[in-house]
Amino acid sequence: MNRLKLWVFAATLIGGLSVFTACSSGSDDVQEPVVNPDPDDNGANSSSDDIGYSTLNLTSPAVGQLIGSDGKNYTTLPSGVTAVAMIAYVGSDTYDATYKNGLAIALADEAKSNWSTAKSTCEGKTAITGAKWCLPSQDQWKQMFKANGGNEGSYTGLNTTITTARGTALPEYAGYWSSSESRPGVDAYFVFLNYVYADWMWGSEDSDNQVRACLAF
């Protein structure tokens, strides 16, 4: 761990209470995604993440696959279907109270913004039955890093998977907000992409950072 990270964690301990919030459901009556037995991977890739769909209908989801505007998952998109997210983790450890099948990441950033705007922007993306958009928590970021290269302290594996899927890479020396707060209403955690490392820091919720939405399903 580098000196900057040691300083940040020491400051965090001094700063007091840390609060970690993940994507959470406002209702228990939510339809889970349908998982079919046989995959259907054909067509041509696209990379827009701003087109929503109404219901997920996933087929043996795997890391690196695209979720299309028809709610299905593909290795390669068919003609007429637009990519809305890339599957970044498959499993039950989603750090979400309702959605326990995996995590997908948007293929492009939202506008750079303060923490409150970042959170509301991600949560306000097009509603999906069987999934939910959110600002990823610190644990969700780490889960996606770990599922793409096996190291929660490095972002390069996730970046490789995103660019292979024709998404926009997470830029080096950028900070990305998480939904996890250090001091509620004052400071929140963000991940700083430092060379190959994913370094965790906290900063004022009024400051601007990069924003990338996460889809819990």
**pTM of the full structure:** 0.79
- Domain containing 41 equals 3-23+30-216
The arithmetic mean of pLDDT across residues 162-189, rounded, is 97
The pLDDT value recorded for residue 55 is 86
pLDDT at residue number 159: 97
**Which residues sit opposite 160 in a β-bridge?**
none
CA–CA separation, 73 vs 83, rounded Å?
A: 9
> Which residues, at least 6 apart from 117, have a Cβ–Cβ distance to it below 8 Å?
none
The C-alpha atoms of residue 81 and residue 41 are separated, in whole angstroms, by 12
> pLDDT tens for residues 90-103?
999 999 999 999 99
Domains: count for the chain: 1
Who contacts 20 (Cβ-Cβ below 8 Å, separation ≥6)?
A: 137, 138, 139, 180, 181
Q: At what angle do helices 156-164 and 138-147 cross, to 10 degrees?
A: 70
Beta-carbon contacts of residue 6 (< 8 Å; ≥ 6 apart):
none
Q: Which residue would you say has higher pLDDT here, 115 or 34?
A: 115
Q: What percent of the chain has pLDDT over 90?
A: 72
The string of pLDDT tens digits covering residues 69-84 is 999 999 999 999 999 9
If one compares 167 and 150, the residue with the highest pLDDT of the two is: 167
Over the stretch 100-132, which tens digit does the pLDDT of each residue have?
999 999 999 999 999 999 999 999 999 888 999
- pLDDT for residue 127: 83
Q: How do residues 204-213 score in pLDDT, each as one tens digit?
A: 999 999 999 9
How far is CA 112 from each of CA 13, 27, 105, 149, 168, rounded to the nearest angstrom?
28, 29, 17, 27, 15
Query: What local confidence, expressed as pLDDT, does residue 54 receive?
Result: 60
Q: Beta strands of the chain (E only): which ranges?
A: 34-36, 57-59, 66-68, 73-74, 83-90, 102-105, 110-113, 132-134, 175-183, 187-194, 197-204, 209-211, 214-216
Query: What 3-state DSSP class applies to 120?
Result: helix
Helix intervals (H) in the chain = 3-15, 115-123, 138-147, 156-164
